[in-house]
């Protein structure tokens, strides 16, 4: 079983936020944390701009880690709401499956993004 499939089938959070350097070391074109959050922000149909919200948080928070975790929480709330309201769809997850299986649509989308990455070729 593939790593991401295992995480998805066990409803486990993919460990991707330990640093984009880890993921980027093994996968071609892996997004940085910032790139990933911007992509998900746009998919979530949030009214304000990602960069405007980042700037607001930057004024209140001490570290970029705090900013990114705050943004991820905000995106997850909005993404999940949009998913259950039918405004965002996932290829392999229905609202019924997510509800019954207690699966986070946001986390499933992250797994989907990473499952489509190509491994880097070793020399």
**How far, in Å, are 18, 44, 99, 105, 115 from residue 81 at the CA level?**
26, 9, 12, 9, 23
Task: 79-83: list long-range contacts, CB under 8 Å, 24+ apart.
Answer: 79/40, 79/43, 79/44, 79/105, 79/106, 79/109, 80/104, 80/105, 80/106, 82/44, 82/45
Dump pLDDT digits (tens) for 103-114.
Answer: 999 999 998 988
In a domain, 87, yes or no: yes
In a domain, 77, yes or no: yes
In a domain, 24, yes or no: no
In a domain, 21, yes or no: no
SS3 12: coil
In a domain, 37, yes or no: yes
In a domain, 111, yes or no: yes
SS3 17: coil
**How many domains does the chain fold into?**
1
Predicted structure pTM score: 0.76
How much is the average pLDDT of 5-11? 66
**Domain range spanning residue 97?**
3-11+29-119
Dump pLDDT digits (tens) for 78-109.
Answer: 999 999 999 999 999 999 999 999 999 999 99
In a domain, 66, yes or no: yes
Average model confidence (pLDDT) across the chain: 84
Residue 90 CA to residue 94 CA, distance in Å, equals: 7
**Closest to 109 measured CA to CA, from 47, 50, 42, 51:** 42
pLDDT of 72 > 80? The answer is yes
Q: Give residue 17's pLDDT band: very low, low, confident or very high (50, 70, 90).
A: very low
In a domain, 67, yes or no: yes
């Amino acid at each position: 079983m593939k790593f991401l499939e295992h995480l998805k089938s066990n409803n486990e959070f993919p460990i991707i936020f330990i640093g984009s350097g880890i993921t980027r070391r093994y996968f071609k074109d892996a997004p940085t944390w910032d790139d990933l959050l911007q992509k998900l922000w746009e998919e979530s149909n949030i009214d304000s701009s990602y960069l405007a919200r980042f700037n607001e948080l930057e004024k209140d928070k001490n570290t970029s880690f705090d900013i990114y975790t705050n943004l991820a929480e905000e995106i997850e709330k909005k993404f999940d709401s949009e998913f259950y309201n039918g405004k965002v769809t996932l290829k392999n997850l229905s609202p019924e499956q997510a509800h019954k299986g207690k699966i986070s649509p946001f986390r499933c989308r992250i797994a989907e993004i990473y499952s489509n990455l190509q491994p880097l070729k070793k020399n």
